[in-house]
């Protein structure tokens, strides 16, 4: 049964077929709307996470697709459990957190200076879009003083988090800001969701994107008795309606499954993909362990002498199993993808077939990273 559940969740995640969401910018939009979010990360050892996640799901994905979709007002940037691209269809579900930031209920997003925040808003209204480095002495903020003190950066971040401004494009990782009213469609639903609405949104997003999930996944980083009670009521109603079913994983953990998925009989596939450490499939570690028997953590945050697998090891998806980790580094100036280390944890795979497919996938991954050749260490 666990094997079948793995295949079902891979179908829902768009990782079992090459054109689940279609191609081009429309395929990119569909992928984000289906997944509910795509995490943004700044680490650039290989191509950044938000591009990597979509590249694995949209055959002809282009790095310009995200900026284009933001400008077309189909997606927006905000905070999910981390910085993320989100469907514009779900904008109203970001409103509770924006309101909480404005009321100083988040300790991480309340360091803005009131005067600077007002000055930033005035500057954008007067001069248009703004980047952090655009602030100049004419507006009573010197670049050095603002940058070094961090007050300007915090003020900009607070305005963003409380919903007064939005990121309207990125140049690499440099953000360009504009007033929110210029970045959202005129007909968008701005009704503040109640706690039941919000819990229902989280449930439906998880059900759609994964189909196979755990309780902890449903309330991932969403603390508070109110949200837990609302989610529990929704979960129970779904169970009573037989819309979802409970299955016991091999480790005894409860796994919830979309009943419609259980009607499918997915065939095994031998596709090989190198996943981002922030891929939606692997981000929920508890579920990953229960379904894939794969214990994983990102070691770039671990001191070098305590790393086991490498700085930025990518999980290797082979068929319906996560079979190992590969640590890669793109040397773009030399157009070389360096394979620093490779760790195969599943010894039952057909080694000859696996390494043949890994070679092909590394060539594809190298091209995605702007590299022409592959260099193996050891």
Distance CA 157, CA 169 (A): 15
User: Could you tell me the pTM of the whole model?
Assistant: 0.92
Q: Of 152, 182, 212, which one is at a domain's C-terminal end?
A: 182
pLDDT (0 to 100) of residue 332 = 94
CA angle, 6 as apex, 4 and 8 as ends, to 5°?
70
pLDDT of residue 378: 60
How far is the C-alpha of 172 from the C-alpha of 160, rounded, in Å?
A: 19
Mean pLDDT value across residues 269-285:
92
pLDDT per position as a tens digit, 187-240: 999 999 999 999 999 999 999 999 999 999 998 767 688 999 999 999 999 999
Q: What angle do CA 229, 232, 235 make, to 5 degrees?
A: 155
- So what's the pLDDT on residue 256? 95
Of 44, 50, 100, 105, residue with least CA distance to 77 = 50
pLDDT at residue 83, rounded to an integer? 94
Whole-angstrom distance, CA of residue 244 vs CA of residue 72: 35
- Which of 78-87, 209-218, 285-294 comes out lowest in average pLDDT? 285-294
Rounded to whole angstroms, the Cα distance separating 321 from 292 reads 6
- For tokens 């919000």, name the residue: 198
Residue 135: its pLDDT value, please? Answer: 64
Please check the confidence at residue 142 and state whether its pLDDT lies above 50: no
Q: Can you give the pLDDT at residue 331?
A: 96
Residue 116 belongs to domain with CATH number: 1.10.10
Q: Is residue 324 part of a domain?
A: yes
- Whether residue 148 is contained in a domain is answered as yes
What's the whole-number average pLDDT of the chain? Answer: 90
Distance of CA 359 to the CA centre of its chain: 27
Measured distance CA(107)–CA(214) in Å, rounded? 29
The answer to the question of residue 125 being in a domain is: yes
> How many domains are contained in the chain?
2
Q: Within 10 A of 19 (CB to CB), how many other CB atoms are there?
A: 12
Last residue of a domain, which of 134, 158, 182?
182
Quick check: 274 pLDDT over 70? yes
**Tokens standing for 220?**
């991932």
Sequence-distant (6+) residues with CB within 8 A of 60 are 23, 24, 27
Contact status, residue 129 vs residue 177, Cβ threshold 8 Å: yes
Is residue 83 in some structural domain? Answer: no
C-alpha span between 283 and 261 (Å, rounded): 22
Tell me whether residue 280 is in a domain: yes
What are residue 160's phi and psi, to 5 degrees?
-65, -50
Q: Is the pLDDT of residue 58 over 70?
A: yes
Phi then psi dihedrals of residue 359, to 5 deg:
-60, -45
Buried/exposed 79-95: b ≥16 CB within 10 Å, e otherwise: bbeeebbbbbebbbbbb
Q: What is the pLDDT of residue 144?
A: 40
- 353 versus 135: the higher-pLDDT residue is 353
Polymer length in residues for the chain = 378
Strand order of the β-sheet with 83-87 is 38-39, 83-87, 75-79
pLDDT digits (tens, 9 = 90+) for 83-132: 999 999 999 999 999 999 998 877 677 677 889 899 999 999 999 999 88
pLDDT surpasses 90 at 1? no
Final residue before a domain boundary, out of 163, 182, 201: 182
Model confidence band, residue 346 (pLDDT cutoffs 50, 70, 90): confident
Q: What is the CATH number of the domain that holds 289?
A: 3.40.630
Strand stretches in 187-319, DSSP E: 212-213, 244-248, 254-258, 272-274, 313-318
Its domain, for residue 336, covers 272-376
Q: How far apart are CA 18 and CA 218, in angstroms?
A: 27
Which two three-digit tokens encode residue 155?
A: 């003020």
Residue 46 lies in a domain: no
Q: What is the mean pLDDT of residues 159-165?
A: 96
pLDDT of the residue at 151: 79
The answer to whether residue 290 is domain-embedded is yes
The answer to the question of residue 294 being in a domain is: yes
Query: What backbone phi and psi angles, to 5 degrees, belong to 328?
Result: -120, 155
Place of tokens 């054109």: 19
């Amino acid at each position: 049964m666990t094997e079948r559940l793995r295949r079902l969740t891979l179908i829902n995640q768009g990782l079992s077929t090459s054109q689940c969401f279609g191609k081009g910018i429309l395929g990119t939009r569909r992928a984000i709307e289906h997944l509910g979010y795509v995490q943004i990360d700044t680490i650039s050892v290989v191509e950044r996470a938000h591009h990597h996640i979509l590249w694995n799901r949209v055959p002809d994905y282009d790095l310009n697709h995200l900026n284009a979709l933001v400008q077309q007002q189909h997606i927006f940037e905000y905070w999910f459990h981390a910085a993320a691209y989100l469907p514009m269809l779900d904008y109203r579900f970001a409103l509770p957190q924006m309101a909480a930031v404005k009321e100083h209920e988040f300790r991480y997003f309340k360091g803005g200076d009131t005067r600077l925040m007002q000055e930033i808003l005035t500057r954008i209204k007067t001069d248009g879009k703004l980047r952090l480095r655009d602030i100049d002495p004419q507006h009573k903020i010197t670049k050095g003083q603002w940058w070094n003190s961090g007050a300007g950066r915090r003020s900009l971040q607070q305005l963003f988090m409380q919903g007064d401004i939005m990121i309207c494009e990125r140049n690499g990782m440099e953000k360009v800001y504009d007033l929110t009213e210029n970045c959202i469609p005129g007909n968008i639903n701005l009704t503040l969701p109640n706690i039941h609405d919000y819990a229902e949104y989280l449930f439906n997003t998880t059900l759609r994107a994964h189909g196979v999930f755990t309780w902890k996944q449903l309330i991932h980083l969403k603390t508070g008795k109110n949200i837990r009670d609302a989610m529990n009521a929704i979960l129970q109603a779904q169970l009573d309606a037989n819309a979802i079913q409970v299955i016991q994983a091999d480790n005894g953990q409860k796994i919830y499954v979309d009943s419609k998925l259980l009607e499918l009989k997915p065939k095994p596939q031998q596709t090989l993909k190198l996943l981002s450490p922030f891929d939606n499939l692997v981000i929920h570690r508890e579920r990953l362990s229960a379904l894939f028997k794969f214990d994983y953590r990102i070691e770039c945050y671990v001191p070098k002498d305590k790393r086991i697998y490498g700085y930025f090891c990518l999980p290797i998806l082979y068929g319906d199993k996560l079979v190992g980790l590969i640590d890669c580094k793109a040397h773009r100036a030399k157009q070389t993808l360096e394979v620093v280390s490779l760790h195969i944890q599943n010894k039952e795979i057909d080694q000859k077939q696996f390494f043949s497919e890994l070679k092909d996938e590394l060539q594809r991954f190298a091209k995605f990273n702007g590299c022409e050749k592959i260099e193996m260490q050891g």
